[in-house]
Amino acid sequence: MTTAAPQVAGFRQRAAAWLDAVIRPAGLRDYGATPAVQDAPVARAWQRMLFDAGWAGLSWPVEHGGRGASAAEQAAWAEETARRNLPRGTSLTSTELMGPSVIAYGTAQQQRAFLEPTLRGELIWCQLFSEPGAGSDLAGLRTRAVATEGGGWLADGRKVWSSGAPFADYGLLIAVTNPEAPTAGRFSFFLVPMRRPGIEVRPLVQLDGQVKFSEVFLDNVRLEPGDLLGEVGQGWEVANHMLGVERLALGGHALRLEEELRELATAATRLGRSGDPVFRQDWTRLLTETRVLRWTFSRAVETPTGKPDNRLLSVVKLAATQLEQRVGDLPEAVAGPAFAAGDAGWAARALTSRGATIAGGSTEVQRNIISERVLGLPREPRGAS
Ligand SMILES: Cc1cc2nc3c(=O)[nH]c(=O)nc-3n(C[C@H](O)[C@H](O)[C@H](O)COP(=O)(O)OP(=O)(O)OC[C@H]3O[C@@H](n4cnc5c(N)ncnc54)[C@H](O)[C@@H]3O)c2cc1C
């Protein structure tokens, strides 16, 4: 037990007591990293309750309205919310991606305008990175922001897979501002209001019937100088900072898997399948791997310096998302043909878990990152940049 353990235990106890006592807004469900369209109003109400009770922005510094919680406390929060089938906030993009980036790169004015209103649930954000021809190869993105004479830019392009875009108030946009420059200086980063003229959002229906993704078209969209996050040409650095935070957040989702496995064991007993040796073996293997991953996550975030070990977290993101998919597949083994027609929650989990190994960097790309940046193996061949 580390010296911080009693503090974490106290935090967990207070969190559990609050979560047990709180009267949930009607219709609140665990929608995962992003609410579907119909969840958005209740997600805002939930975020407001978290803010009022001091549970919003756990990782953010206190001076920016957050709680300044340690990584171990954040993990405890993730587990306690999972245990009660509750989401952690409005959306991962809003509270876990936007916040740290605006804190690191934003002006005082941007921090005042965006941080606390987001924690209060008044602002929801979407991430405008991926394009039809640029996902893993993000540096190949084509959306252009051309400087205008009077200051500011005009943006044109097409984004895709933008989670939460139909109800988002602001977008986190990366666009080319200097096509001649090498990757490091080619892009700039903007905080763009989604209701600005020229932005059209076309929702996409997912495999599980929910609407979380969208295509976003930008047609001569005016970007003001105050929309710029960081400096002109600093967009690649800002985007990579955000992707690093995203991988940490996605790896943290593994903390919810043990709860899903517990639910499955209960269901297996109810369905008379808990004696099935194959199910027992698969379940036990997954629980063991989930526990190992949980401890690896703890080792990565509870470091002597207090700074997360990003090398280990890369491995956690890779393993956690693959495990999520295998846990998602297990209900079918329990319920058999009743699976698809029966508990809709299980079928949805199995379907949405397919995306876990793609979001925030696919498994193959994650393996490249680990081999090159963690193990120091030779870089794979790349085009000129
Ligand atoms: C649930 C979910 C939420 C998302 N939310 C957002 C969002 O809010 N905003 C946003 O901008 N994007 C979002 N995305 C998009 C996501 O970032 C991209 O899907 C991802 O980066 C992969 O890009 P791609 O889909 O273009 O696939 P591609 O890059 O075309 O990859 C296709 C296949 O080729 C493989 N591949 C590609 N390059 C290599 C390589 N160098 N070596 C080996 N294999 C390779 C990939 O692993 C993959 O299997 C989301 C995706 C998911 C699944």
Return contacts of 301-304, CB within 8 angstroms, 24+ apart: 301/71, 301/72, 301/74, 301/75, 302/2, 302/4, 302/70, 302/71, 302/72
Atom from ligand 1 closest to the CA of residue 163: 8
What is the percent of the chain with per-residue pLDDT over 90, rounded to a whole number?
65
Q: Which helix (H) or strand (E) holds 161?
A: none
Query: Alpha-carbon distance 284 to 289, whole Å?
Result: 9
User: What's the mean pLDDT in 338-349?
Assistant: 72
Q: Report the separation in Å between the CA atom of 359 and the middle of ligand 1, taken as the mean of its atom positions.
A: 6
CA nearest neighbour of 335 among 268, 286, 278, 276? 268
User: What's the mean pLDDT in 295-307?
Assistant: 83
pLDDT of amino acid 383: 61
User: What's the mean pLDDT in 322-340?
Assistant: 84
- pLDDT over 50 (residue 1): no
CA nearest neighbour of 94 among 50, 127, 59, 46? 127
Mutate to test the pocket of ligand 1, among 358, 368, 377 (most ligand atoms within 8 A of CB): 358
* 246 is an active site residue: yes
User: What's the mean pLDDT in 18-43?
Assistant: 94
Do the beta carbons of residue 44 and residue 122 sit within 8 Å? Answer: yes
User: What's the mean pLDDT in 2-8?
Assistant: 70
- pLDDT over 50 (residue 86): yes
**Residue 175 φ then ψ, to 5°:** -145, 155
pLDDT of amino acid 341: 67
- pLDDT over 90 (residue 281): yes
Q: Whose alpha carbon is nearest atom 3 of ligand 1?
A: 359
**Residue 169 φ then ψ, to 5°:** -90, -30
- pLDDT over 90 (residue 156): yes
- pLDDT over 90 (residue 127): yes
- pLDDT over 60 (residue 385): no
Q: Report the separation in Å between the CA atom of 139 and the middle of ligand 1, taken as the mean of its atom positions.
A: 13
Which residues, 6+ apart, have CB-to-CB distance to 369 below 8 Å? 314, 361
Q: Report the separation in Å between the CA atom of 188 and the middle of ligand 1, taken as the mean of its atom positions.
A: 21
Residue in the block written with tokens 């080319």: 176
What is the percent of the chain with per-residue pLDDT over 70, rounded to a whole number?
96
Q: Report the separation in Å between the CA atom of 288 and the middle of ligand 1, taken as the mean of its atom positions.
A: 29
Work out whether strand 170-176 and strand 125-128 pair parallel, antiparallel, or are unpaired: parallel
Mutate to test the pocket of ligand 1, among 130, 194, 385 (most ligand atoms within 8 A of CB): 130
- pLDDT over 90 (residue 323): yes
Query: Alpha-carbon distance 298 to 254, whole Å?
Result: 11
Q: Report the separation in Å between the CA atom of 36 and the middle of ligand 1, taken as the mean of its atom positions.
A: 20
Q: Whose alpha carbon is nearest atom 20 of ligand 1?
A: 135
Task: State pTM to two decimals.
Answer: 0.93
Q: How far is CA 80 from CA 103, 111, 208, in A?
A: 27, 29, 26
CA nearest neighbour of 354 among 316, 313, 324, 315? 324
- pLDDT over 90 (residue 177): yes
Who has greater pLDDT, 228 or 213?
228
Q: Which two tokens stand for residue 356?
A: 């876990």
- pLDDT over 90 (residue 359): no
Least trusted range by pLDDT, from 200-209, 216-225, 229-238, 335-344? 335-344
Q: At 300, which amino acid appears?
A: A
Q: Report the separation in Å between the CA atom of 126 and the middle of ligand 1, taken as the mean of its atom positions.
A: 16
pLDDT of amino acid 343: 62
- pLDDT over 90 (residue 2): no
- pLDDT over 80 (residue 255): no
Residue in the block written with tokens 């967009």: 235
Mean pLDDT for the chain? 90
Residue 315 per-residue DSSP state: H
Who has greater pLDDT, 186 or 329?
186
Query: Alpha-carbon distance 6 to 241, whole Å?
Result: 32
Do the beta carbons of residue 361 and residue 243 sit within 8 Å? Answer: yes
Who has greater pLDDT, 149 or 70?
149
Residue 24 per-residue DSSP state: P
From the candidates 246, 258, 260, 289, give the one annotated as an active-site residue. Answer: 246
Query: Alpha-carbon distance 268 to 276, whole Å?
Result: 9
Which residues, 6+ apart, have CB-to-CB distance to 310 below 8 Å? 244, 248
Atom from ligand 1 closest to the CA of residue 133: 26
HSE toward the beta carbon, residue 345, CA cutoff 13 A: 9
Q: Report the separation in Å between the CA atom of 357 and the middle of ligand 1, taken as the mean of its atom positions.
A: 9
Atom from ligand 1 closest to the CA of residue 165: 8
Query: Alpha-carbon distance 258 to 344, whole Å?
Result: 20
Q: Which two tokens stand for residue 221?
A: 């969209």
Do the beta carbons of residue 86 and residue 55 sit within 8 Å? Answer: no
Dihedral of CA atoms 158, 164, 170, 172 in degrees, nearest 10, equals -60
Q: Whose alpha carbon is nearest atom 35 of ligand 1?
A: 364
pLDDT of amino acid 239: 96
pLDDT of amino acid 337: 74
Confidence bin at 8 (pLDDT 50/70/90): confident
User: What's the mean pLDDT in 208-231?
Assistant: 95
SS3 74: helix
Atom from ligand 1 closest to the CA of residue 129: 11
Query: Alpha-carbon distance 373 to 52, whole Å?
Result: 41
User: What's the mean pLDDT in 158-179?
Assistant: 97
Ligand 1 site, CB within 6 A: 93, 126-127, 129-130, 135-136, 161-163, 355, 358-359, 361-362, 364-365, 368
Q: Whose alpha carbon is nearest atom 26 of ligand 1?
A: 135
Tell me whether residue 18 is exposed, middle or buried, using C-beta atoms within 10 angstroms of its C-beta: 0 to 12, 13 to 18, 19 or more.
middle
